[in-house]
Amino acid sequence: MYLNQNIAYYRRLCGYTQEQLAERLGVTGQSVSKWENELSNPDISILPDLAKALGVDINSLFEETPNAPKGVQVSELSALCYDALVSLFAKAEFTFYHGEATALTSERLNKRMEALKKEFDFPLPKCAYVIDEGNPEHGSVFLSDALSFIDRSYGGADYALLFDLDKAGELLTVLGDKNARKILKVIYEKLVSEGEGGTFFSPQKLSKATSLTEDAVSAAAVKLRHVGLIDEVEKIEQAGFKKEYCTLYPKDFIFVLAILRLAYVHTSNMTCATLMYRDANNQLNYNK
């Protein structure tokens, strides 16, 4: 059954948000979110309109789309990145200790990955590793159960300019505001559980969910809007205008989570081992 992933795939091809597709079909954004997250299926009576809105025939909704990227939920990203970097660490370790003369088979790699995961399986975040390729311009990998991070060129000449970015300071200041983080937490939890369509909150709902006053919610929301982490929309209802806050893009939360995880790692008591496996001349280096 490819229906659920195809709805998301063709919706994105059309450039629609979940809310925009929902409006075309006369359903709620939450309904579209549930379809795409395989929590429910659209009623059979709506399929013709759904296919028309997405610019395909009904059969295409149920067929495999070879060019469609595999959908990944936000909640899956951490595990996927962690597994990928555990694999990278295992390969680097194998090269360091065994060189290229000994073949690294899939079976050996999988066994070492399982062993590494057990080694890393401590209460967060007692274990962290850095893979340094010898030359800062080559970059490094940071791996822990709190954060997986790779930067291929952290030693580049232009990277020092990042410390001068005013916008970076503004973003960090906003994330340092506890009330702003409370609002982001509520929106993020809804984003993970219900998709984009579930992330619309009135000031009253946010006030209740965060135990903040409406004035405190509004003040924090202004800061979050300034750095582009949420948006404010107005809807016309019978009683007048209704103001709501929502996330701009789910991908923004990936960067926020990375910043918060990194802050958590650096303010926690943990051990860090450095493994240097290749220098700039591609030679094994045991001196650091």
CATH number at residue 57: 1.10.260.40
Residue-range definition of the domain harbouring residue 127: 74-162+268-276
Domains of the chain: total: 3
In a shared domain, residues 85 and 143 = yes
In a shared domain, residues 86 and 157 = yes
- Kindly indicate the confidence band of residue 206, based on its pLDDT and cuts at 50, 70 and 90: very high
- Kindly indicate the confidence band of residue 225, based on its pLDDT and cuts at 50, 70 and 90: very high
pLDDT of residue 242: 82
Domain annotation covers residue 281: no
Least-confidence region, from 207-211, 216-220, 258-262:
258-262
Domain annotation covers residue 254: yes
Long-range contacts formed by 16-20: CB under 8 A, 24+ apart: 16/53, 17/196, 18/195, 18/196, 18/197, 19/196, 19/197
pLDDT of residue 105: 81
End-of-domain residue from the set 34, 62, 90: 62
In a shared domain, residues 151 and 272 = yes
pLDDT of residue 127: 54
In a shared domain, residues 92 and 221 = no
Query: What gap in Å lies between CA 81 and CA 132, rounded to an integer?
Result: 18
> Token pair for residue 212?
């903040």
In a shared domain, residues 243 and 111 = no
- Kindly indicate the confidence band of residue 39, based on its pLDDT and cuts at 50, 70 and 90: confident
Domain annotation covers residue 283: no
- Which pLDDT tens digit goes with each residue over 126-151? 555 665 555 555 566 676 666 667 66
Domain annotation covers residue 116: yes
In a shared domain, residues 150 and 102 = yes
In a shared domain, residues 36 and 79 = no
Percent pLDDT > 70 in the chain is 70
In a shared domain, residues 151 and 223 = no
In a shared domain, residues 128 and 87 = yes
Query: What gap in Å lies between CA 81 and CA 141, rounded to an integer?
Result: 12
In a shared domain, residues 154 and 214 = no
Domain annotation covers residue 169: no
Using the CB atoms, write b or e for 247-285: b if 16+ within 10 Å: beeeeebeebbeeebeeebeeeebeeeeebbbbeeeeeb
Query: What gap in Å lies between CA 89 and CA 131, rounded to an integer?
Result: 7
- Kindly indicate the confidence band of residue 11, based on its pLDDT and cuts at 50, 70 and 90: confident
Mean pLDDT throughout 145-161?
68
In a shared domain, residues 96 and 146 = yes
Residue 3 has pLDDT above 90, yes or no: no
CATH number assigned to the domain comprising residue 208: 1.10.10.10
pLDDT of residue 159: 75
Strand ordering across the sheet containing 148-151: 148-151, 140-144, 127-132, 271-276
Residue 217 corresponds to which amino acid?
Answer: V
Per the omega criterion (within 30 degrees of 0), is the bond before 125 cis? yes
In a shared domain, residues 101 and 81 = yes
Q: Report the mean per-residue pLDDT for the chain.
A: 78
Domain annotation covers residue 140: yes
